[in-house]
Amino acid sequence: MHRVLLSLLVLCTAANISAFAAAAANAPRNIIFILSDDHRWDFLSFMPEAPKFLETPNLDRLAKEGAHLRNAFVSTSLCSPSRASILTGQYMHHHRVVDNQRPEPAGIRFFPEYLRAAGYRTAFFGKWHMGDDSDAPRPGFDHWAAFRGQGEYFDPALNVNGTRQTFKGYSTDVLTDLALEWLGQKRDQPCFLYLSFKAPHYPFEPAPRHKGRYDKFPVPYPPTMANTEANYASQPRWVRERRYGIHGVDHMETGRFDHDPVPSFETLYRRYSEAVHSVDENVGRVLKAIEAAGQRENTLVVYMGDNGFALGEHGFYDKRDAFETSIRVPLLAWAPGVIQPGTVVTPMVQNIDIGPSLLDAAGAAAPANTPRMDGRSFWPLLQGRATPWRDHILYEYYWEWNFPATPTTFAIRTDRWKYISYQGIWDHDSLHDLQTDPHERHNLINVPAFAAQAEKLRAQLFNELGASGGLQMPIFPPAGEALHDRKLRR
């Protein structure tokens, strides 16, 4: 079948656009991957579930002119493990990046290495966050500009090809500036750019020009946020207990916790929404540069969130768990002339599919004798081509010593059902019918009529984990700040 080769060169200034247009005659085949941090699946203004005041016109444009992968999930809802899964195409139990504290293990391989071996020039800008201390350049990238750990929202310090530099301004703007400058450089090779924003990660900080933009709008409260028996009667006990801890809304509403001030729910919700808007504006800058360079028909842009985020659901403001708000992410793909406008992909895709998909789109492949990827390419799905696909996804999360409120979790999700198993706690598991209970308010695990469904999913979950080595959990020495006692008295 004819393989469509996509090209991209983006310029950051009008002066560079003419030079770019001349260089584009050779049509180098480039891809840009944009990752945001903690962006929920439903915080896109074209989504009916989004808050009415949210504005994401540029992300909406990606969906309108390209594809929205509506059922996109992560295999682990935590920054470092999810990012490792994106780059390796592997589940956490294979790549072994299990928390945010430790660097990636020796021997790990990232798909940009394979693009580089295929002749691509590659660059990374932004939040790497595999390990909390090192911002050193990683294999697979010709150009490197990264935060250390979580990085900063303002005046970020970046390791630029081995030299640490401080840049004035709001980090999302700064990273976009640097990325567009790199893309505007004249070169003869195709390019791959990985642009990784810190926003909208907590503490939610929009660009100063956007702060307060939504202050006059009412904030919706999710139905599962209230501390009522109706919301918690059938849930495992840890779910209710978590609302009193560092990532719970009761902590938030007190405004103080071990002397840490926390915004009210409504303020936090508005700042998060404004930070998403700031991300959207910078995505628009990239699209505008593409248009100005006359490269609309030769560009692939993929946008994704690294994991979801609860904003009050079940009493949480966090990720980690296997509820929908935590594991679902926005995923958009834009390739005019290749992806039909308004394409909606409904099969379930995951972060482990990003590497295989971008390699497929580039016409590249992983070399022989490299680690096997667990994911598969959704590039055919974006083009409307029939391809065998999964009917369920797997999820895994390992308990963290420094954030102990969420237990080790394994889950399996189909289009209708979700079964969640919790390890190491004296509690029951969960079964949710997503068709009749999309908010996951009612746990059916102890309802006799659903016992067979629960057993079927439990067996499938552990059979698949066992077959792939997913039941051998690594144990590491404690790392990071100890937060065991950070719980409200009630």
CA dihedral 275, 204, 71, 400 (to 10 degrees): 160
* Residue 3 scores a pLDDT above 50: no
User: What pLDDT does residue 45 have?
Assistant: 98
Name the residue with higher pLDDT: 227 or 253.
227
Q: Do the Cβ atoms of 6 and 29 come closer than 8 Å?
A: yes
What pLDDT does residue 6 have?
Answer: 34
pLDDT at 290 over 60: yes
221 vs 186: which has the higher pLDDT:
221
Confidence of residue 259 (pLDDT cuts 50, 70, 90): low
pLDDT tens track for 212-251: 999 999 999 999 999 999 999 999 999 999 998 888 888 7
Average pLDDT score over residue span 145-153 = 94
- Residues 310-343 pLDDT 10s: 999 999 999 999 999 999 999 999 999 899 999 9
Indicate whether 87 pLDDT > 70: yes
Query: pLDDT tens for residues 358-406?
Result: 999 999 988 888 999 999 999 999 999 999 999 999 999 999 988 888 9
- Tell me if 310 sits within 8 A of 43, measured CB to CB: no
Q: What percent of the chain has pLDDT over 70?
A: 90
| pLDDT higher at 289 or 376 | 376
Structure-model confidence comparison of residues 483 and 102, the more confident one: 102
Q: In the sheet where 430-433 sits, what is the strand order?
A: 392-397, 408-414, 417-423, 430-433
Give residue 343's pLDDT.
98
Give me the DSSP letters along 332-358: EEE-TTTSPTTEEE-S-EEGGGHHHHH
Long-range contacts at 483-488 (CB < 8 A, ≥ 24 apart): 483/246, 483/402, 483/403, 483/404, 484/404, 486/245, 486/246, 486/257, 486/258, 487/244, 487/245, 487/246, 488/244, 488/245, 488/248, 488/250, 488/251, 488/254, 488/257
The answer, yes or no, to whether residue 175 has pLDDT greater than 50, is yes
Dihedral (C-alpha) 276, 159, 30, 19: value to the nearest 10 degrees?
100
Query: What is the chain's mean pLDDT, rounded?
Result: 90
For 264-285, what is the mean pLDDT?
97
pLDDT at 261: 63
The pLDDT confidence band at residue 11, using thresholds 50, 70 and 90, is: very low
Cα 425 from Cα 416, distance rounded (Å): 26
Give pLDDT, residue 368. 86
Would you tell me how many other CB atoms lie within 10 Å of the CB of residue 358? 25
Residue 465 CA neighbour count, 13 Å, CB half: 23
Q: What is the pLDDT of residues 20-63, one digit of tens each?
A: 333 333 333 789 999 999 999 999 999 999 999 999 999 999 99
- State the burial class of residue 466 (Cβ atoms within 10 Å of its Cβ: 0-12, 13-18, 19+): exposed
Q: What is the pLDDT of residues 422-472, one digit of tens each?
A: 998 889 999 999 999 999 999 999 999 999 999 999 999 999 999 999 998
Alpha carbon of 58 to those of 3, 5, 55, 64, 432: distances in Å? 28, 24, 9, 10, 34
Q: Find out whether the peptide bond into 438 is cis, omega within 30 degrees of 0.
A: no
pLDDT (0 to 100) of residue 369 = 85
**Which superfamily is assigned to 28-392 in CATH?**
Alkaline Phosphatase, subunit A (3.40.720.10)
